[in-house]
Structure 1
Amino acid sequence: MGIVLLVSFSESRNEESARMDPALLRERELFKKRALSTPAVEKRHAASDSESHKRKKPKVEKEGSSGSKHGSESSNGKFNIKTSSGYKFGCLAKIVNYMKTRHQNGDTHHLNLEEILDETKLLDISMKQKQWLMTEALANNPKIDVRDGSYGFKPKYNLKDKKALLRLLDKHDQLGLGGVLLDDVEEGLPNSAKAIKALGDQIIFVTRPDKKKILFYNDKHCQFTVDEEFQKLWRSVPVDSIDDEKIDEYLKKQGISSMQETGPKKVLPIHKRKKGGQKKRNFKTHNNHLAGVLEDYTDGVPSKK
């Protein structure tokens, strides 16, 4: 039954095509050929934002052990200088130098940490660094004096004026302690240059080989004329055979301390080894037992003796 219907349908189509204009039939055939010869490309629809977001796998930033080990690196991998140990100790050095300068200018009153950070322009340091400054750095620094949470500079000699300096030098002279370094005086005496200039000839300056100056008390009661005979006797005593250790030992026995500890350290000369002459090489000789038997034919056959 189905075959009969298909045959009747094809016959009806052929009859319809036979009734159509031949020109239209040719155009239809040409159109079919062109359609078959032209390849059809299917365009894909652009994915929506939601679909593209689903396709892309989110990158998960792994917080590895490197982040905890390298605390000076920020989250983007760049070096953060404000969290490094060099920056931390640089802040400490800046604070100590500032406290020393203000002490030398006469500002000897103590400051709390916030006031110090404000005057040194270190307002961007972290709470961890502030805690480190309060509990360790400033508290254990030998040049910082801590009083009830406030800080001040602690020099070697805390001198208020020129009279205090003169008393210090006089005490050193009476106890046989020698002089005082100018650097230590400038560190502990506010406006030290003005005070030293006002004392005038009451102070004697001695320059060490390393160009550092030492201040001595000029005791004018000891200024007297020594007889020439005693000067000759003094100069006639030989001391070339006595080394510094024996002199220092003798002074200690007499209750006099030397300034050897504060003096410049002696650098022992480096003796360069002299290049010795080249040693002569000894060559081993052979056939020594045939010394009287062998003959030399370099100049031809030797003549018979």
Structure 2
Amino acid sequence: MDPALLRERELFKKRALSQPTVEKKVVPSESSGSKKKKSKGDKEVSSSKHGSDASNGNFNLKALTGSSGYKFGCLAKIVNYMKTRHQRGDTHHLTLDEILDETKLLDIGMKQKQWLMSEALASNPKIEVRDGKYAFKPKYHLKDKKALLRLLDKHDQLGLGGVLLDDVEEGLPNSAKALKVLGDQIIFVTRPDKKKILFYNDKHCQFTVDEEFTKLWRSIPVDSMDDEKIEDYLKRQGISSMQETGPKKVLPMKRKKPGGQKKRRFKTHNDHLAGVLEDYSEGVPAKK
């Protein structure tokens, strides 16, 4: 290597080492801090706009006043409240403002109030409207336990069967207490779907059967007889049976066999010329 270049290189190193260097520290400016604070504030504003509250984790329904979900949520809350107060015994009618006050729905707008008055509550099958006031409308209006007994007795006399316990609890205020007081005057039957049915326990039908008749009844074997044979026997004895009481049998659908296409029939023409036309498919026939 050229010695002159080596000397210049050594001189450059010496000059570089002799010059002191100072590192500059990066100090965060106020503008960046304000930006961070501003971004944080923007997030808080946006969260408040979307109806969330970070302090208590509650959801602000007021932010959803324009959505259909909020409207139907208010309707469901009102109907459930009206049902609950009816079951407590408060069966008197209320105005819409009184309902909104008791359900704490005072922040809804005029459009929602108009929708509740003109459509939602007016057409709801569980709400009764009378003179601009509203009350719960159960399937059976039962004031007390005596009304329930009369209803069950009527169903028993007309052969209508029992009454769902859910319908009784819906329409009878303090139903649990009333059912407990009635005791054995009501019979509970549980359906296969776990729902309970109430029947009137008519004690006039309770009588003692002679043991001789009981033995005769139990001595008749019916295990080997199906419903058709029992019905034929009853008809021969001049006794008619109830019809369509059991579950209906669903017949399986008959499937069409593939390939069984019908032959098409072609319409024939010139039937009026039968015996006049001649067949020339095998050539011209010889003259007779």
Q: Where on the TM-score scale, by shorter chain, does this alignment land: which range? A: 0.5 to 0.7
Residue 215 of structure 1 aligns with which residue? 198
SS at the partner of 1:89?
A: helix
* Cα-to-partner distance string for 1:53-111 (whole Å, 9 max, x where unaligned): xxxxxxxxxxxxxxxxxxxxx9x996942211111001000000000000000000000
Give me the whole-angstrom Cα distance separating, in 2, the residues matched to 1:145 and 1:198: 30
Instruction: Give yes or no for the alignment of 1:91 onto 2:74.
Output: yes
Residue 121 of structure 2 aligns with which residue? 138
Residue 235 of structure 2 aligns with which residue? none
Residue 124 of structure 1 aligns with which residue? 107
Give me the whole-angstrom Cα distance separating, in 2, the residues matched to 1:82 and 1:188: 33
Tell me the C-alpha RMSD between the 2 structures.
3.0
Give me the whole-angstrom Cα distance separating, in 2, the residues matched to 1:168 and 1:104: 18
Q: TM-score, normalised by structure 1?
A: 0.53
- The number of aligned residues is 177
> Is residue 178–residue 259 contact of structure 1 (8 Å, CA) maintained in 2?
no
Give me the whole-angstrom Cα distance separating, in 2, the residues matched to 1:238 and 1:162: 46
Q: How far did 1:252 drift?
A: 6.2
| Cα separation, partners in 2 of 1:259 and 1:192, compared to 1, 3 Å | farther
Residue 283 of structure 1 aligns with which residue? none
Q: Which has the larger radius of gyration?
A: 1
SS at the partner of 1:221?
A: helix
Residue 171 of structure 1 aligns with which residue? 154
Residue 214 of structure 2 aligns with which residue? 228
| Cα separation, partners in 2 of 1:175 and 1:82, compared to 1, 3 Å | same
| Cα separation, partners in 2 of 1:108 and 1:230, compared to 1, 3 Å | farther
* Cα-to-partner distance string for 1:144-168 (whole Å, 9 max, x where unaligned): 0000100000000000000000000
Give me the whole-angstrom Cα distance separating, in 1, the residues matched to 2:225 and 2:117: 55
| Cα separation, partners in 2 of 1:233 and 1:160, compared to 1, 3 Å | farther
Residue 186 of structure 1 aligns with which residue? 169
| Cα separation, partners in 2 of 1:112 and 1:251, compared to 1, 3 Å | farther
Residue 100 of structure 1 aligns with which residue? 83
SS at the partner of 1:97?
A: helix
| Cα separation, partners in 2 of 1:147 and 1:259, compared to 1, 3 Å | farther
Q: Which runs of 5+ in 1 are unaligned?
A: 1-73, 243-249, 261-265, 269-305
